Structure 1
Amino acid sequence: MSTVDDHLRNLQDPPIEFRPELRWWLAEGLHTDETLRFEIDAAHRLGFGGMEFLAMDEAAIDHSRYGWGSEEWVHDSAIVVEETTARGMSVSFTSGTNWSNANVPTIDADHPAAAKELNFIVESVRRGAGRDGALPRIDLDEDRAVGMLPGHRIAPRQQHFVAAVAAPVVSEGASGAVIDVDGIVDLTASVVDDTLAWEPADDRDWRLFVFWWHGTGQTASPSASVNYTVSYVDRDGADAVIEYWRDIVLTPALREQIDRNPRAQMYMDSLELTTWGAGGMFWGHSVAEEFRTRRGYEIRPWLPFLTRQIMMMAAATTYLYEPTAEHATTVAKVRHDYVQTLTDLYIENMLRPFAQFLHENGMLLRSEISYGLPFELTRPGPEVDGIETESLEFGSQIDAYRLLAGPAHLFGKQYSSETGATTRNHMLDHRFYDQIIATQLAAGVTKTVLHGWASTAGAEDTTQWPGHEGMWSMFSERFDLRQPASEFYPLWNRAIGRFQYLLRQGRPRIDVGILRTDHFVDNLSGMVFHDGNGERVPDEDAYGQWWMRNRENHWWQDLGMQDAGWSYDFFDPSLLLHEDVTFGDGVVQPDGPGYQALIVYQEALDAAAAALLLDWAQQGLRVLIVNGARELKLLLTRDYTTHDRAASQTPGLDGRDDELEATMRQLRALPGVAAIDDPVKTVSALRGLGVVGRAEFVDDNQSVLTYLREDGDLLHLYAYNFLYETGEPTTVEVMLPGEGFVHRIDVWSGDAAPHHGVRIADGRTVLSVRLAPGETALFTVDRSTPTVESAPDDLWEATSIDEWSISVESWDAGEPVVLREDRGLGYETREARPTTAVTLIRSASTALASWQDLPDVGPEVSGVGEYFAVFELNARPDGGARVLLDLGSTNGGLGSVVVNGGEARGFDTSHPLVDITDAVRAGRNDLTVRVASSLNNRLIARGYYETFHDIALGFLGQEGYHATRVRPHGLVGPVRVLRTG
């Protein structure tokens, strides 16, 4: 069992495996060995814990020489693995449908392993005319718009007949046709040698649907050869990837390096598969047979109702044909069965064999499971080693992070996030990204993978200051050496590492599990930056003022549990049937999250899951059935779903609705089960069942989120005031189970001090926590040590600091350096590495102000400001009293504080309050504060944004360039020296 002292040793210098990691975009295989080694050494020196690397398309170079799969790329990959391993860093290969290394050059679009789709052609047929002859075939070379995802299509040559289905049209409108389910005729058996003779039996307007499957033809780049996207539902796809990696990629030298790295991984990125044809349906040569076997009926007659169109991701699915109202439920069940089958095949034919292969070769599988495709979001969770979410596609919303927290917590998986991607390149202050990380920690994300890192060096003809772009100019911030803030990354990485270290200890304690199935989760919500008038809203305004910061959670919209301090996750109810999930001691998964109650709110519930709920409820499980809940369907169209009556039908066409109804009738009759008709009553109903939040607030608080870990006698509590733009300072009292001594962890130093503001109530430890907007706090409660009750600290101002010596190190473009490499292969590799020229500007002002308001600095400057001052103290603190430096505001800039020439100390960008007790002395004290800016103001002055398209405008059907403004930078205070005691 761990002790506080054990953790304090690690908190002083958190081990490298707990530090933030990086997504690294290489300019294909162009980088010289010198650059690769320099970049990895720099990342390690700045305190990052690992590198996930991939080849990004670099213009103006020879892809056959430098693309993925080339000798240069293989050589560079070996260096990356070698250099990261030598430093104890993790290394991750990047997989995914947009990255060449997930796809293979050994197939073409017609190969059994290639990605497939179901396409169709429709004919109008009337009685008296009929039709006789060859079935219409797909024009595989037709020029069709295929959505917004990158990638190039190479048309397949083959198509395979699947079905011919006739259906009468009831009505037709702008949004599509309504067809009569009862009139459907499956004509597949009547097709002979791809010909069909058929005439309707009545005078209605009949449509003949002819279905063919063929390859999507999707390819990925950059690559030394053409790499085709593989199937994620047929086993052939995984086998082709495994064979290529086993026989070609994993050379003996690379295997040796991987064997030396205990944290080598494959990272499977979001599943950005595309279809080309009119059907819009993912398919495989095994799908029809697998559907019949798993669902118990033929899919063919229902295919017209499965045809669809999408915009980029599965969340934006629109079906082309709808049934009449009396058959809407039946068709919805068929649609569920189709996507459930795809999810089954994705799990069994891709994830399981791929993970097994990786394990056999010394690698783990970390994955952004499911989203992007019509796969259930949470069911694949048990199949991977690490579950990853991201900040971009979900808009950094707490409810979105709760979606994948469920399977991560249930199965003890490392929960990570790709963090920092926005549409705003180099524009935003560091505080913006700190708030994303703070939000993720509140949901149990304890591995940050920053999006990202790019070498400043790149192709000569395309690389300009501040450096090689890597992920274009639209999808990421750069957490690398081009940033003025990089000076402070070692302090920052240690601070984030302390959070991630302590919040991985023990087991999560989550109060409530919410049963939720979604094959079309909205992972486009993070790109919806427009107001009611269709006007572009800056990402930072939406993140800071909309959605969760405006009391609008997307998926569980009632905020009663959140305001009470209760925690909750989402997951598909079928996961409860997994052999690794148990019920005991009155909770679900006692050695994991320990859900005290489960909520059922969606109209569809699997009969087998309901039977398990009944069994567990008879053993003491508490269940709340909530009718009338509303949840997000697609934010882009402001589309929501309301579930009038929870668990009123099974999700699929399995004929078990009556069984479900009988089970639910028994369930509702049990004493540990309650049902409500308004989600607002959720907390009171759960309290009525005896649920008490493990980190419950004494009084409701609308500003604070918490996350709790139980580590034997220790409790580790994270708290966060998430209203960083719209809130006020708040004080919350948090009640924790048991009595114990409370340590408050200073994540910027690793020190722990007794927390002042503790009392005991009814055998629980109650912490009083005051948090400024955006501020975070970390505590450990030791229940093996007696509680010391205390009042909150009384802070008083010892002095204010109003006179400063101010200078700014202004960053701008320097002269580029050309790097040359000749590896004896008959050619020379050349890179351009922009350099930064730093000009020191001394301000005549002695008063703090933003740089644009300082004489001699102005609105065009980015870089690092240095502020020197002197303050006096009558005496050093004693008897446990403390001295704190309150910087007021740094305009969100990252920085450091040095007192009397001591070591540099970092600070929270939202509440820059630094404990300087051990550094001060009686009398004169010298203070140096350094604060970094973003590159925004300098890049505006250089015209950087004038040529970069704003991708968020594309979602509005508009064209335009990035719009930004001059932003305030630097220390603005007021700066005060505070004392306690």
Structure 2
Amino acid sequence: MTLDDFRREIAEPAIEFRPELRWWLAEGLHGDATLRREIADAHRLGFGGMEFLAMDEGAIDHARYGWGSEEWVHDSQVVVEETTRRGMSVSFTSGTNWSNANLPTITPDDRAAAQELDVASETLAPGERRSGPLPRIDLAAPAAARHLPGERGTIRDQHLVAVVAARVLDADAGVLDASSLTELTASVTDDALEWTAPDGDGDWRVFFYWLHGTGQTAEPSASVNYTVNYIDRDGVDAVIAYWDDVVLTPQLRAQIAQNPRAQMYMDSLELSTFGAGGLFWGHTVVDEFRARRGYDVVPWLPFLTRDVPFMAVSTIYHHQPAGDADRITVDKVRHDLVVTFTDLYIENMLRPFAEFLHGVGMTLRAEVSYGLPFELTRPGPEVDGIETESLEFGAQIDAYRLLAGPAHLFGKQYSSETGATTRNHMLDHRFYDQIIATQLAAGITKTVLHGWASPAGAEGVTEWPGHEGMWPMFSERFDTRQPGSEFYPLWTAAIGRLQYALRCGRPRIDVGILRTDHFTDNLVGLSLTGPDGERIPDEVAYGTMWMRDRDNFWWQDLGMQDAGITYEFFDGSLLLRDDVSFDGDEVQPGGPGYRALIVYQETLDPDVAAHLLAWAQRGLRLVVVDGAREVQSLMEGRHTTHETAAARTPGLDGRDRELAATMAELRRMPGVRVTAPSGVVTALDELGAGGRARLETDDPNVLTHLREDDGLMVLYAYHFLYETTEPTTVRIVVEGTGAAHRLDAWTGELRPHRGARQRGGRTVVELTLAPGEVAVVVLDTTTDAADSPAPSVSEVARAEAWRLVVESWDAGEPEVLEEDRGLGYVSREVRPKTAVTRLDAGEVELAAWSEISGVGADVSGVGEYTAILSVPEVADGARYLLDLGSTGGGLGSVRVGDGPQRGFDTAHPVVDVTGSIRPGENTLTVRVSSSLNNRLRARGYYERIPDIGAQLTGEERTQHAVVREYGLLGPVRLLREE
């Protein structure tokens, strides 16, 4: 790509680069007019696609409107037609909390339904004999409490898997004697067992393991839909058959064929078990485990059953062995079980599902693995797009690095569901802009906003500001109910330009970190309780804690990050794939091009170690790190420290000595460094892998990301400490020489960057970044460039006298919408309207609306500020920048005289007005939006909205809303840059 190509294409980014939307539909209730109107609005506001799903809507007939009904199938057809007509992408949504991941064609007792391993037990004294029928699972007993949505339906069948006995060493602590494990399954006759506990010290416990369906259901649906089996092939076959025979009508297939960006989106795996065993299972697990791992899993089952109150990270095993040696052995078995689960998830769900979708003209985008005890990164190559989300990962750079590795290694689109919080209509727009900026720094280049809901919904449950969609407690809405939606066309174009820039060419990541994790903490974003039990507001946690308080989760030493050395994570077994290569200098040179790898966890697959050794003999740079610490569960305060890297194999493969020999050889090699975490940067420098865009001086404020296209280097830099007040100046040393250009994401202008110099085959780019500010610099390596000093900036004028009119938003009269499709009934929706009242505050000094007479603390909406800016002269060749100071985090626009409307960065609202400023008097018009928090607070809205963040810790309370500072806060200054 040439610089001219880049300049032309980024000026008005194509629709595929625009942010997309998760769209919550009130089941199939919406009429055709509503659906088409919503899509037209989303398209008008600059969004690039719609991912749609049915949300449970009260007060309507689910049999008529739920997923799978004629109304839902009809609405799906309308959605695909209208998005396709407008060139937008369209995504069907799958996932265990959404009914279209579950089927009406199965019962919990079918092989295609999700299965769990349940357990009953008996305790016997030494020498005591038991005889008679086996204890069975009471399938009618109340289900164990779970935080995840979903209910358990009626289960009838259970199948014996195994009977195992073990000596009890400490009943209260759940300690068993691992050497005593005895399988008794062969002794069962006609569902009865006769067995005598051995004499000696300690009681014996006999465990009876039964397989039965989980019975998990999801709503809304036209009938009862049960969750499918993700382990055995029967599950995906049933899903494929249902979609093939029922959902994908000939008309729908024809529409999908016309949309080159039709997708299936597989949401996070929020699968639940309800019995005492706590283990997902399948009919083939025992046989598959034996074939893949080389030994029998059954005798080890007492050490595998568990409680899982909230996703895999919350796993609590029922029993533990005594002694370090046995603990290591049991850990290896647990690892092997999850490796097997991951294999089966890949082979029996993802791979065949993707193949089916490709055959009908769709791609598969998925939040792979997390939520379940699957390895996080190994499934990455099996899907077309890898997705993460801001809610569960809390907008933390380290969390996004987890999935960046497989995305970049295999050239997958890396995207994120962005904007979900435990708040509702509360937070300023800057909060969400900062999430997006963090994600871009990790290599995410597709933002799917969470989300969009039509204001229209069912009668009796829909109130202003509109149909909630994703419940009134677990999301933000980026739709027309927001005062800021007026400015969305400017904003979505700006995001589109950033995403275009960061899809150019290939990512250039300096270091790959080998990391295997079967229990990834995907609840870091919900760790909102302080040490004294206090509820920490989302905006405080995101803005001042965790990564913004020098606390990364999985790679805790910040030396590389401070130096500008980029890195990301992946399971080492991915290096064994045929489509991953090493050219003697870089790993995957056509992808991220890692110049060094890091091994730091206590376990390492011996085949991976041998692979690293072979590569090291060809020049691979490797850093072995002892003593690294990482988070296991942030919410529970659990960490682990890996005292010695690669000290043992992760599984029960008997190859520890082989691994030790390999690692001993590796540690002696000249291209390998062995160090503590604090010595990694020095080690990388010694190996010549010190970073392609290295900071000249370490800086704790800035994150960078680098892309390379033929002839172009695209550098992204972000001052991520957005709640601080001080700017930072950094000099970034980029490999290659050429002319540097700075992108204005809000206008698409690409101008020569002032503050670049050539040095020894590299370009030093100087940037001064305000807190929260993003910069994109494009280096054209095909063009020679002279050094240019950083510009000088001076204040030319200030706007002091302002007039303010606030367009105050509140509930208006609702509109009733009816649709009669000739099916014998009439569908009715209620569409709350917004009443806008003009509040003329007259001449004001810039302050929050809550402090201005005539506006006040109960107002939300859009404020229009006008002022006269006197400019004595306009110098030729100078740039003029209007610095708004602060807009309270609100989205808005600026117009000078009759010039164009320009948007601005909510963290750093500085607008280039060079072409509009004239000598003499200039009329400034600044429009600034708010959230709906203050108006909803005044209406008592939050008094009935549950605080989901508090509920997750067992505290029942409603959301606490405070008055937010809205408006243009200033000071407003005209700056001249020369």
Instruction: Tell me the TM-score normalized by structure 1.
Output: 0.99
Residue 925 of structure 1, CA deviation = 1.2
DSSP 3-state at the match of 2:68: coil
The answer (yes or no) to whether the contact 1:544–1:726 under 8 Å persists in 2 is: no
Residue 877 of structure 1, CA deviation = 3.3
The answer (yes or no) to whether the contact 2:795–2:975 under 8 Å persists in 1 is: yes
Residue 955 of structure 1, CA deviation = 2.2
Which residue of the partner structure matches residue 71 of structure 2?
72
Whichever residue aligns with residue 603 of structure 2, its letter is A
The answer (yes or no) to whether the contact 1:549–1:726 under 8 Å persists in 2 is: no
Residue 875 of structure 1, CA deviation = 2.9
Whichever residue aligns with residue 659 of structure 1, its letter is E
- Are residue 534 (structure 1) and residue 544 (structure 2) matched? no
Whichever residue aligns with residue 896 of structure 1, its letter is S
User: In 2, Cα distance between the equivalents of 1:129 and 1:377?
Assistant: 46
DSSP 3-state at the match of 1:92: strand
User: Which residues of 2 match residues 530-929 of structure 1 at below 5 A?
Assistant: 530-676=529-675, 678-726=676-724, 728-879=726-877, 881-929=878-926
Whichever residue aligns with residue 442 of structure 1, its letter is A
The answer (yes or no) to whether the contact 1:146–1:275 under 8 Å persists in 2 is: no
DSSP 3-state at the match of 1:726: coil
The answer (yes or no) to whether the contact 1:22–1:50 under 8 Å persists in 2 is: yes
DSSP 3-state at the match of 1:315: helix
Which residue of the partner structure matches residue 263 of structure 2?
265
Which residue of the partner structure matches residue 181 of structure 2?
184
Whichever residue aligns with residue 237 of structure 1, its letter is G
Residue 152 of structure 1, CA deviation = 1.6
Which residue of the partner structure matches residue 218 of structure 1?
216
Q: After TM superposition, which residue ranges in structure 1, 4 or more long, deviate above 6 angstroms?
A: none
Which residue of the partner structure matches residue 288 of structure 1?
286
User: In 2, Cα distance between the equivalents of 1:625 and 1:851?
Assistant: 56
Whichever residue aligns with residue 738 of structure 1, its letter is G
User: In 1, Cα distance between the equivalents of 2:514 and 2:930?
Assistant: 44
Which residue of the partner structure matches residue 970 of structure 2?
973
User: In 1, Cα distance between the equivalents of 2:622 and 2:539?
Assistant: 39
Which residue of the partner structure matches residue 339 of structure 1?
338
DSSP 3-state at the match of 1:869: strand
DSSP 3-state at the match of 2:865: strand
Whichever residue aligns with residue 763 of structure 2, its letter is T
DSSP 3-state at the match of 2:961: coil
User: In 2, Cα distance between the equivalents of 1:980 and 1:216?
Assistant: 65
* CA offset digits 1:815-866 (Å, max 9, x no partner): 0000000000000000000000000011133311110111100000000000
User: Which residues of 2 match residues 96-115 of structure 1 at below 5 A?
Assistant: 96-115=95-114
Whichever residue aligns with residue 889 of structure 1, its letter is S
* CA offset digits 1:695-734 (Å, max 9, x no partner): 1000000000001000011000111000001352000000
The answer (yes or no) to whether the contact 1:845–1:854 under 8 Å persists in 2 is: no
* CA offset digits 1:435-471 (Å, max 9, x no partner): 0000000000000000000000000110000000000
- Are residue 935 (structure 1) and residue 932 (structure 2) matched? yes
Residue 692 of structure 1, CA deviation = 2.1
DSSP 3-state at the match of 1:736: strand
* CA offset digits 1:570-600 (Å, max 9, x no partner): 0000000111100014110001000010000
User: In 1, Cα distance between the equivalents of 2:464 and 2:951?
Assistant: 26
Residue 872 of structure 1, CA deviation = 2.0
The match for 1:236 among 234, 237, 240 is 234
User: In 1, Cα distance between the equivalents of 2:725 and 2:345?
Assistant: 43
Give unpaired runs (5+ residues) of structure 1: none
User: In 2, Cα distance between the equivalents of 1:245 and 1:435?
Assistant: 39
Residue 297 of structure 1, CA deviation = 0.5
User: In 2, Cα distance between the equivalents of 1:910 and 1:194?
Assistant: 68
User: In 1, Cα distance between the equivalents of 2:717 and 2:187?
Assistant: 66
* CA offset digits 1:788-821 (Å, max 9, x no partner): 2111110001101101111100000000000000
Give unpaired runs (5+ residues) of structure 2: none
Whichever residue aligns with residue 714 of structure 2, its letter is H
User: In 2, Cα distance between the equivalents of 1:726 and 1:140?
Assistant: 55
The match for 1:279 among 270, 277, 280 is 277
Whichever residue aligns with residue 382 of structure 2, its letter is E
User: In 1, Cα distance between the equivalents of 2:198 and 2:471?
Assistant: 58
User: In 2, Cα distance between the equivalents of 1:154 and 1:872?
Assistant: 72
The answer (yes or no) to whether the contact 1:759–1:789 under 8 Å persists in 2 is: yes
DSSP 3-state at the match of 2:235: helix
User: In 1, Cα distance between the equivalents of 2:460 and 2:431?
Assistant: 33
Root-mean-square deviation over aligned CA pairs: 0.8
Which residue of the partner structure matches residue 129 of structure 2?
130
User: In 1, Cα distance between the equivalents of 2:784 and 2:438?
Assistant: 32
* CA offset digits 1:768-797 (Å, max 9, x no partner): 000000000111000101122111110001
User: In 2, Cα distance between the equivalents of 1:337 and 1:780?
Assistant: 46
Whichever residue aligns with residue 152 of structure 1, its letter is E
Whichever residue aligns with residue 535 of structure 1, its letter is E
Whichever residue aligns with residue 560 of structure 1, its letter is G
* CA offset digits 1:871-899 (Å, max 9, x no partner): 122333313x1111000000000000011
User: In 2, Cα distance between the equivalents of 1:750 and 1:905?
Assistant: 11
- Are residue 946 (structure 1) and residue 905 (structure 2) matched? no
* CA offset digits 1:945-968 (Å, max 9, x no partner): 000111111222111000010000
The answer (yes or no) to whether the contact 1:845–1:855 under 8 Å persists in 2 is: no
* CA offset digits 1:223-257 (Å, max 9, x no partner): 00111100001000000000000000000000000
Which residue of the partner structure matches residue 147 of structure 1?
146
DSSP 3-state at the match of 1:133: coil
The answer (yes or no) to whether the contact 2:290–2:296 under 8 Å persists in 1 is: yes
* CA offset digits 1:325-363 (Å, max 9, x no partner): 230000000000001100000000000000000000000
User: Which residues of 2 match residues 43-442 of structure 1 at below 5 A?
Assistant: 43-173=42-172, 176-203=173-200, 204-325=202-323, 326-442=325-441
User: In 1, Cα distance between the equivalents of 2:661 and 2:902?
Assistant: 63
Residue 160 of structure 1, CA deviation = 0.4
Whichever residue aligns with residue 242 of structure 1, its letter is I
Whichever residue aligns with residue 210 of structure 2, its letter is W
User: In 2, Cα distance between the equivalents of 1:472 and 1:786?
Assistant: 56
Whichever residue aligns with residue 146 of structure 2, its letter is G
User: In 2, Cα distance between the equivalents of 1:439 and 1:190?
Assistant: 59
User: In 2, Cα distance between the equivalents of 1:370 and 1:714?
Assistant: 35
DSSP 3-state at the match of 2:619: coil
The answer (yes or no) to whether the contact 1:844–1:855 under 8 Å persists in 2 is: no
DSSP 3-state at the match of 1:590: coil
User: In 1, Cα distance between the equivalents of 2:228 and 2:127?
Assistant: 46
Number of residue equivalences: 976
The answer (yes or no) to whether the contact 2:147–2:952 under 8 Å persists in 1 is: no
The answer (yes or no) to whether the contact 1:269–1:367 under 8 Å persists in 2 is: yes
DSSP 3-state at the match of 2:131: strand
Residue 129 of structure 1, CA deviation = 2.6
* CA offset digits 1:61-110 (Å, max 9, x no partner): 00000000000000000000000000000000000011111111110000
Instruction: Tell me the TM-score normalized by structure 2.
Output: 0.99
DSSP 3-state at the match of 2:171: strand
Residue 560 of structure 1, CA deviation = 0.1
Identity score, percent: 65
The answer (yes or no) to whether the contact 2:405–2:512 under 8 Å persists in 1 is: yes
Whichever residue aligns with residue 936 of structure 2, its letter is L
Whichever residue aligns with residue 188 of structure 1, its letter is T
Whichever residue aligns with residue 922 of structure 1, its letter is P
DSSP 3-state at the match of 2:34: helix
Residue 688 of structure 1, CA deviation = 1.5
Moved more, 439-448 or 521-530: 521-530
The answer (yes or no) to whether the contact 1:528–1:955 under 8 Å persists in 2 is: no
The answer (yes or no) to whether the contact 1:742–1:780 under 8 Å persists in 2 is: yes
